[in-house]
A and B are shown apart, each in its own frame.
Chain A
Amino acid sequence: MTDTIDTGARRSIRRAIPRLGLRRGQGAGEGLLLALPMWLVFALFFLLPLAVTLVVSFWEFTQYSIEPAFILRNYADLFDGCIDGLPYLCTTLKTYLSTLKFCFLVWAVTLVIGFSVAYFLAFHVRSLPMQVTCFLICTIPFWTSIVIRMIAWIPLLGRNGLVNQALMGMGVTDQPLEWLLYSDFSVILALVHLYTLFMVVPIFNSMMRIDPALIEAARDSGASGRQTLTNVVIPLARPGILIGSIFVVTIVMGDFLTIGIMGGQQIASVGKTIQTEIQYLQFPLAAANAVLLLIAVMLAISALLRMVDIRKEL
């Protein structure tokens, strides 16, 4: 089954590569030369750093230096008390569970909002200029720093913020709600605010490829609106849903900024743990954590791929 997913994904990626231009075999050397700068950048700033991280995760460290070695202590430290401590969760497991909780909640919310917005833009907005305008309205807020988009919630959610003022004015509560800011709630809200567009764009993209005749055919054959949605639109929008989900889930898994700022630096996440270890110059420990995070991200992606595929099988 993984085989079919793999070839399917590979085929769709291959389809993305432009098929025009020169005849086969011609200018392969020139092609290599033209691709060289990109190869260099990725080799020096992506592949080698990942390799270095893997190597350093086996090194020793003291308070002020890191020493080449091959030890498993960093990994052992990560899982310290994870097995024999059960049923009590060790720090690493707790952190991963908390991160997964944020992943799942943010994914669910962005998927529902993203799908609805994409559906509206693709099927209800009737003219292209109108679609472009709606898209611009949605994207303009994305052209500003994520820090600014986070602190922008302070005047609304703070103890004396607009929301609390409104709630107290209406008599819903007589004390300002404390859980609006620097809480799980504000972290999720900010993450949804920051990344829903990453869900909208790919889903919109696959919806625009759906032939309207298919939807008409479904309707003519007597399908209700809901049936058309579940049997025609959702299956055909699957690639977009998948791409958006991978984006959102991987971003939230590695997040340390949003959880830091919106959580008032009080909420744990894997990314934040790595950041803290770096601050204390415990590089090998941070590297071991990074390797673990990378494995977790890969597992999450394969789980997503599989989940979507299983739904097709049912």
Chain B
Amino acid sequence: MKDGPRPRSFYALAAVFALFVAFLWGPMVAIVALSFQGPDGGLVFPMRGVSLHWFAVLWSNEGSVDISGAFWRSFRLALVVMVLTVVISVMAGLAFRRRFPGAMVLLYIAIASLIVPSIVVSLGIGLEFRLFDGLVQSLGGDWAQRNFVTLLGTFTSGLGAHLTWTLPFGLLIMFAVFNRFDPSYEEAARDLGASRWQTFVHVTLPIIAPFLIGVAVFGFTLSWDELARSSQVMGSTNTLPMQLAALTTTVTTPEIYALATLTTGASLLLVGVLLTCAFVLRRRRSAG
């Protein structure tokens, strides 16, 4: 079956696949192209000139878009989410190998966290923190009246909301990793007298390291692009996707396309760097 001539269905499905790829890429290619227009470019084709004008406008913060605050806030948040996702997922992955009581419940909760609509999660966290605020106000007395504003913020409620989205993915990846994991290496280390911590640091961790980069990629990009769960939990601040969503209704110049090109580039760059790391790690392993 593997080597025979291609059946007719192959060509039909190949055409479907090609159309699908064109469908996925077409719009992206269009806005990347349009972001490199000249100063009098508009939102649609044909392109009017070719320049970096709109990137310069974006960079100088002179245009209608003040983006750097949201950009760096999102970047910092995504980094924190990435680190926490990796650490918490690995710990939970190790826990599931040990069959702790309540394991099934935790797994069901993680899956539920993926399925419950983001607007519901976002509203819930927002309400919860509003109640916390009320509690602090009533318990904190004078000091709270004067100084306390709210617990809602990027690195409190915002961070938590993003983790409810990234951790289920991290956990499922860890399952896949540990399902292919050969425990005899760990047994060998233990037979040679390594403590459990030494076994983890010198044996388990190096073996799973390349896959952890996969978890990191997921953690970062899911947070970096997250919008639905962010909507009610960021307090007075906002993230880059929130800023972008707000801009869709106000900006009518290719500046927004330049911004799209920039954020997509940043995201792809990071994914590229991390995947290269994973590749190098595996290479070195198989060479050694």
Contacts and interface: CB of A to CB of B under 8 A. Distances in A.
Interface of A: 10, 13-14, 16-22, 24, 26-28, 30-35, 37-39, 41-42, 44-50, 52-53, 56, 113, 116-117, 119-121, 124, 126, 134, 137-138, 140-141, 143-156, 158, 160-162, 165, 193, 196, 212, 215-216, 225, 246-247, 250-251, 253-257, 261, 265, 271, 274-275, 278, 283, 286-287, 290, 293-294, 297, 301
B123 A28 contact: no
A45 B28 contact: no
A37 B106 CA distance: 11
Contacts of B109: 42, 46-47
Contacts of B240: 145
A147 B123 contact: no
B207 interface: no
Contacts of A19: 179
B107 to A, nearest CB: 7
B163 A155 contact: no
A210 to B, nearest CB: 13
Contacts of B88: 37-38, 41
B263 A148 contact: yes
Nearest to A37: B88
Interface residues of B, number: 100
Contacts of A27: 98
Interface of B: 1-2, 6-7, 9-10, 13-14, 16-17, 20-21, 23-28, 30-31, 34, 43-45, 87-89, 91-104, 106-121, 123-128, 130-131, 157, 160-161, 163-164, 167, 171-172, 175, 178-179, 181, 183, 186, 221, 224-225, 227-228, 231-232, 240-241, 244-245, 248-249, 256-257, 260, 263-264, 267-268, 271
Given A35-B91, A49-B121, A145-B241, A42 B103 contact: no
A50 B127 contact: no
Contacts of B232: 278
Contact of B20 (A53, A117, A165): A117
B141 to A, nearest CB: 21
Contacts of A162: 30, 44-45
A251 B89 CA distance: 24
Query: Which of B2, B87, B114, B125: most chain A Cβ within 10 A?
Result: B125
17 contacts: A13-B108, A20-B179, A20-B183, A31-B98, A45-B160, A46-B116, A116-B13, A137-B21, A141-B24, A141-B28, A151-B257, A152-B27, A160-B44, A250-B116, A254-B116, A275-B119, A275-B231
- What 7 pairs between A and B have smallest CB-CB spacing? A254-B117, A49-B124, A31-B100, A152-B27, A31-B98, A45-B160, A34-B95
A45 B164 contact: yes
A148 B29 CA distance: 12
A141 B25 contact: yes
A312 B154 CA distance: 48
Contacts of B110: 38, 42
Nearest to A225: B9
B245 A147 contact: yes
